[in-house]
A and B are shown apart, each in its own frame.
Chain A
Amino acid sequence: MKIQILGTGCPKCIKLAENAQVAAKEAGVEFEIEKITDINKIMDLGVMLTPGLAIDGEVKSVGKVLSVEEIKKILKK
């Protein structure tokens, strides 16, 4: 699966990416992380608040740094 981090690269975006990586490893899923930092691409997805998290192109969360546990719940759905 492709885990996409939507954000321009601030510390909170980086933290979300770290949490997502840990969550995916703990969940035992095959994954790749894609960081989308182009603000226009982020807005094309309708995302108005960053950091955002998308899985395989579907936006799951915007405007918050999800915890590892929160991301694991999303990955299991």
Chain B
Amino acid sequence: MADKIEKDVCCDAKTNDTCCSGAARTLILACSGGSNVGQISNNLMIRLNMEGIGNTYCLAGIGAALSGFIESAKASQTILIDGCPTACGKKALEKYGIEANKYFVVTELGIKKNHDFNKLKDETDLALILLKKQL
């Protein structure tokens, strides 16, 4: 994935890395949809960020066709988490020719899609374990 980063990258804005270090973090995007699995995708994004695997990023910015978000996603390593096979996140990236370096669908991790938000924490914990096995 590192090959995707240009050698003359100056610095990673979000983490305020030393300028001109050539460092670049992975951007994590989640569909953050309205079902349990959509919200689990968002939780997973946050948890991966907290574990230092990458930085949370705005899929909505790409969906809104904001150029800075699109260009940053193109220039970075990306992990995309969709909640369900509708794959809104994947389709949003495809509109701009972006393919995530790592792609996960929460339902494919064994979580059933519904609108019950009472079990989000347990479902997120389980999904995180399963997702990290595939990272």
Spell out A's residues near B (CB within 8 Å).
Answer: 7-8, 10-13, 39, 42-43, 45-52, 54, 58-65
Residue tally, chain B, CB below 8 Å to A:
29
Q: Which residues 24-69 of B sit at the A interface, judged by CB distance below 8 A? A: 24-25, 27, 55, 57-58, 61, 66-69
Specify the main secondary structure of chain B where it touches its partner. loop
In the bound assembly, the distance between CA atoms of A5 and B20 in angstroms comes to 15
Among candidates A48, A61, A62, residue contacting B14 with C-beta atoms closer than 8 Å: A48
What's the A-B contact tally at a CB cutoff of 8 Å? 95
Specify the main secondary structure of chain A where it touches its partner. mixed
18 pairs, CB–CB < 8 Å, chain A vs chain B = A7-B11, A11-B20, A12-B19, A46-B61, A46-B67, A46-B69, A46-B71, A46-B72, A47-B72, A48-B27, A48-B75, A49-B5, A49-B11, A49-B13, A61-B71, A62-B74, A63-B8, A63-B75
Spell out B's residues near A (CB within 8 Å).
Answer: 5-6, 8-14, 16, 19-20, 24-25, 27, 55, 57-58, 61, 66-72, 74-76
Contact A60 B71 (CB under 8 A): yes
In the bound assembly, the distance between CA atoms of A43 and B14 in angstroms comes to 7
Contact B9 A63 (CB under 8 A): yes
